[in-house]
Structure 1
Amino acid sequence: MEALWVVALVMAVAFILWAYRWSHPKANGRLPPGSLGLPLLGETMQFFAPNPTCDVSPFVKDRVNRACSDIDWVCAHRYGTIFKTSVVGRAMVVSADPDLNHYVFQQEGKLFESWYPATFTEIFGRDNVGSLHGFMYKYLKTLVLRLYGQENLRAVLLADTDTACRATLASWADQPSVELKDGLSTMIFDITAKKLIGYEPTKSSESLRKNFVAFIRGLISFPVNIPGTAYHECMKGRRNAMTVLKRMMRERMADEGRQPEDFLDVMIEELRREKPVLTETVALDLMFVLLFASFETTALSLTLGIRLITENPKVLEALTEEHEAIVRDRKDPDAGLTWAEYKSMTFTSQVTLEIARIANIVPGIFRKALQDIEFKGYTIPAGWAVMVCPPAVHLNPEIYEDPLAFNPWRWQDKMEITGGTKHFMAFGGGLRFCVGTDLSKVLMATFIHCLVTKYRWKTVKGGNIMRTPGLSFPDGFHIQLFPKN
């Protein structure tokens, strides 16, 4: 009996020591303030707590805010714009500091490298473009820009997008209401899947898009692969989608006489080189990431954008004036949108930037420190993750006056943003500035053009948002369209 008590005591002491080491990690310097929470669990539950507003998440806001009195005990939990935490079992530094954010992006490949939680890697593949570095990443980025670069946008994608927006809106006008997020997701997925892999849902027995539906919820989640969890649904969707992609790739590889028609054909050409840089695994993971990234983020942004435009009549009036002027200047009012017309949309460009600023589709951008890094008196240990937090910058009242107000005029007379800045990182920054940025802007501007020139609309129901931390519309956003006379 005495031996059992000794064993129990030793185990208790070992647990206490382990828990202490967890909460007090060693560092060659001063760690940022903050808490690593409970062992293993960390502060994951707080990080994923639902937030039904466009504001900065309570998780970040409560830790950044230091505006409290000296006698307020809550001040002990408020750390400033740089703090440490632990999420899904990983110790990390969270940055709401514009200077540190900019530094992290500018030092990629030197002091930092791209890193994402294990769930992200498993879902998107171990060889996904976000996990690749150096030459391979630059090589893949160059390939993707052949599809999403301005040359192909001007020559091909703008016209295809205009045609799709017109047809989609016309079909919606025949319905009593449409759920906007789902409708936009379907439209954008069909556009991009056609260009990426030649996929046409009307000619396929499989619904490829449905395999991507649960991804936002599962990307940053506990890797518990049991039915009912967000991670399980994501992995199930990945397996189904990869089965389709692998079959398509092998059919194309066997068809040596096929002429290139889409991006998958470009991948096949690269794989057939005498000394290919690509592997089949890298190519498949790239196609998988592009299929998801091409439609989901833009559909979420545009859904929130239409809700914001609906709630702000002055914005809608200014948009309508700009787009109706474009139509009046055409020889044929029913002609398709041209590149010159798109580039002339000054106010629309301001609207899309403001939507991106408020939407904050990407709540965190992750990097990993390659060595001990000193910044503003704090040490970021080698191997630790850094989560750059764009919402904390985009919604900072010291940077943007009345930050929660939808005010496209705040961008007036400002230079077009072609890369991430200290105060605007909706599309990332540094070497990994999003290659789909221009496509996203074209999709949003084209849809807005077709909508405001041809239709009026009203909200039927829904429109409430939820962030966990990704953006979602739990009740949908249902609208009804009415053709203009």
Structure 2
Amino acid sequence: MWHLGVLMYVVALVVVGLTQYLVYRWRNPKCNGMLPPGSMGLPLVGETFQFLVCGKSIDIPPFIKTRTQKYGQIFKTSLVGCPVVVSSEPDFNYYILQQEGKLVELWYMDSFAKLFGMSGTGKDGSSASTNSIGHIHKYIRNLVLNQVGVEAIRERILPDMEEMSWKSLSDWSTQDSLDVKNATSSMVFDFTAKRLFGYDPEKAKDKNMRERFTYLLQGLISFPLNIPGTTFHKCLESQKIGLKLMKDLIDERRAMPDKFRGDFIDQMIDGMKTESFLSDDFVMHVMFGVLLASFETISSTLTLAVMFLIEHPMVVKELEREHEEILQNREKREGKVTWNEYKSMKYTMQVVNESLRMASVAPGILRRAIQDIHINGYTIPKGWTIFVVPSALQLNPDTYEDPLAFNPSRWKDIEPSAMAKNFIPFGGGTRMCAGAEFTKAFIAVFLHVLVSNYRLEKVKGGEITRSPVLGFGNGFYVKIYNKDRI
């Protein structure tokens, strides 16, 4: 009997010793130099749960803010099992975003990769190289620019944006109140899906498709645990429905080859004849991702802009002055917004930039080190993820005076060089979002119709959260009045 007791004692010592060794190795990763300061958290989960803690303001997410104050602008952590270096250092971020294919490569957390099918394999199952990924990104970016780039906006899209804004605001003005985020999400979703894919929400079988896409955003920063009841599991279920919609649109378009419209989905299907990476599955996921990225950024920024306009009547007066001047300079007041008029909206663009700065919709930009990177005496080991935080740059009090104050006029004095490093709502480097001008134009045209013809009044709500995704608590409800009927 005593032999068994000794054996159990020895086993216990071995387990304790091995556990201590593994915990030590987890907390002190190997590095050919000195790692940035920080904590790796618990084995496997790291500091994931702290990262997901919801902040109750528009300020920098609490996880980022507290650690930046403690460790500095560059610190180490671990999220969903991955070693990560988080950076809010402007010069380093700017440098890293220019180094894709040299020091870093595009990278996604498991939750994002699973939701968007980023498996890194082609039709033949082979792994995608850095060069092939670069080619794929360039190809897709060019297709998006063909549809929503500057030329497309100038030649075709501006009048449609204005028409959608008129229709939406007219409908909303008949309601006792509406939730701005839900309303603008539906508006942008319908507009973008119709333009890119020919999707008609009036004929759709699933009337909750937009809500499903909105919910998916939470899955991007959730723990990738696919168990019933978890956020990630619910997101995957919604993803299946969204991908089924994309597959139906592809099949429907293939069945009508004589009705070539030249939109995004037609271009993708046509590209399958020459590009080996364009499988049905890949195209479905690209359509899915483009749609989600476009409508979420615009609707969140628009919602925030509306909140601030209600709180700042002097900003509204300045907007009204600018847009009344545009209307008076037209031959026909009821004409459509032109490209020259859009480019003349100087103060409006200051409002747009300030809204984008404060919204910081993207929770982060990810890259993975493909070789050791040395910065400020520290080493970021090969294979580690680098997490660039837009909100930490765009709400930095060292860059923006009183950063939590809505002040569009601050943009009169900001130099372009400062914007390049401290204002990245659309990313940076070679992967600057292809929909950047589309987003700014949509918001500007919507504001043109809004301030020229309607008045807003807050009804209830207005709580802002970051988790680290921007959220609006229990909603933000307003009443919209037509000025002609007041």
**Would you call these one fold, judging by a TM-score over 0.5?**
yes
RMSD: 1.9
Query: Distance in 1 between the 2:71 and 2:464 partners?
Result: 28
Shift of 1:107: 0.7
Query: Distance in 1 between the 2:229 and 2:348 partners?
Result: 41
Q: Does 1:214 align with 2:215?
A: yes
Shift of 1:254: 3.6
Query: Distance in 2 between the 1:6 and 1:310 partners?
Result: 70
Q: Secondary structure at the match of 1:367?
A: strand
In the other structure, the counterpart of 2:328 is: 328
In the other structure, the counterpart of 1:236 is: 237
* 1:107-158 superposed Cα distances (whole Å, 9 cap, x missing partner): 1111011111100000011258999722121111111110111111111211
Q: How does 1:200-211 map to 2 (within 5 A)?
A: 200-207=200-207, 208-211=209-212
Q: Secondary structure at the match of 1:214?
A: helix
Give the letter aligned to residue 45 of structure 1. F
**Which of 32, 37, 58 is residue 33 of structure 1 equivalent to?**
37
Query: Distance in 2 between the 1:428 and 1:237 partners?
Result: 27
Q: Does 1:106 align with 2:103?
A: no
TM-aligned CA distance change 1:127 to 1:89, over 3 Å: closer
Question: Any unmatched runs of 5+ in structure 2?
Answer: 122-127
Query: Distance in 2 between the 1:270 and 1:173 partners?
Result: 43
Query: Distance in 2 between the 1:153 and 1:405 partners?
Result: 31
Shift of 1:261: 4.6
Shift of 1:262: 2.4
Q: Secondary structure at the match of 2:421?
A: coil
Whether the aligned pair in 2 keeps the contact of 1:420 and 1:430 (CA below 8 Å) is no
Give the letter aligned to residue 203 of structure 2. K
Whether the aligned pair in 2 keeps the contact of 1:364 and 1:387 (CA below 8 Å) is yes
Q: Does 1:50 align with 2:54?
A: yes
TM-aligned CA distance change 1:123 to 1:145, over 3 Å: same
In the other structure, the counterpart of 1:402 is: 402
In the other structure, the counterpart of 2:479 is: 480
Query: Distance in 1 between the 2:231 and 2:277 partners?
Result: 34
In the other structure, the counterpart of 1:450 is: 449
Whether the aligned pair in 2 keeps the contact of 1:309 and 1:315 (CA below 8 Å) is yes
In the other structure, the counterpart of 1:72 is: none
Query: Distance in 2 between the 1:61 and 1:414 partners?
Result: 24
Q: Secondary structure at the match of 2:420?
A: coil
| TM-score (ref. length: structure 1) | 0.93
Give the letter aligned to residue 357 of structure 1. R
In the other structure, the counterpart of 1:339 is: 339
Q: How does 1:7-406 map to 2 (within 5 A)?
A: 7-65=11-69, 78-126=70-118, 133-207=133-207, 208-273=209-274, 276=276, 278-406=278-406
Whether the aligned pair in 2 keeps the contact of 1:128 and 1:289 (CA below 8 Å) is no
Shift of 1:404: 1.1
Greater CA drift, 26-35 or 196-205: 196-205
Whether the aligned pair in 1 keeps the contact of 2:52 and 2:221 (CA below 8 Å) is no
* 1:24-65 superposed Cα distances (whole Å, 9 cap, x missing partner): 101000000010011112111211111111111221222222
In the other structure, the counterpart of 1:461 is: 460
In the other structure, the counterpart of 1:75 is: none
Greater CA drift, 280-289 or 123-132: 123-132
Give the letter aligned to residue 109 of structure 1. G
Q: Secondary structure at the match of 1:479?
A: strand
Query: Distance in 2 between the 1:405 and 1:210 partners?
Result: 31
Q: Secondary structure at the match of 1:422?
A: helix
User: How many equivalent residue pairs?
Assistant: 471
TM-aligned CA distance change 1:268 to 1:483, over 3 Å: same
Query: Distance in 2 between the 1:195 and 1:128 partners?
Result: 28
Query: Distance in 2 between the 1:355 and 1:201 partners?
Result: 28
Shift of 1:256: 2.9
Give the letter aligned to residue 451 of structure 1. L
TM-aligned CA distance change 1:392 to 1:343, over 3 Å: same
Whether the aligned pair in 1 keeps the contact of 2:342 and 2:444 (CA below 8 Å) is yes
Whether the aligned pair in 2 keeps the contact of 1:88 and 1:221 (CA below 8 Å) is no
Identity, % of aligned positions:
44
In the other structure, the counterpart of 2:124 is: none
Give the letter aligned to residue 223 of structure 2. F
Query: Distance in 1 between the 2:410 and 2:416 partners?
Result: 13
Shift of 1:427: 1.1
Whether the aligned pair in 2 keeps the contact of 1:420 and 1:428 (CA below 8 Å) is no
Give the letter aligned to residue 90 of structure 1. C
Whether the aligned pair in 2 keeps the contact of 1:127 and 1:282 (CA below 8 Å) is no
Query: Distance in 1 between the 2:355 and 2:156 partners?
Result: 25
Q: Secondary structure at the match of 1:164?
A: helix
Q: Secondary structure at the match of 2:382?
A: coil
The 4+ residue runs of structure 1 with deviation greater than 4 A are 127-132, 413-417
Query: Distance in 2 between the 1:376 and 1:26 partners?
Result: 19
Question: Any unmatched runs of 5+ in structure 1?
Answer: 66-77
Query: Distance in 1 between the 2:113 and 2:476 partners?
Result: 31
Q: Which of the pair has the greater relative contact order for Cα pairs under 8 Å at 6+ separation?
A: 2
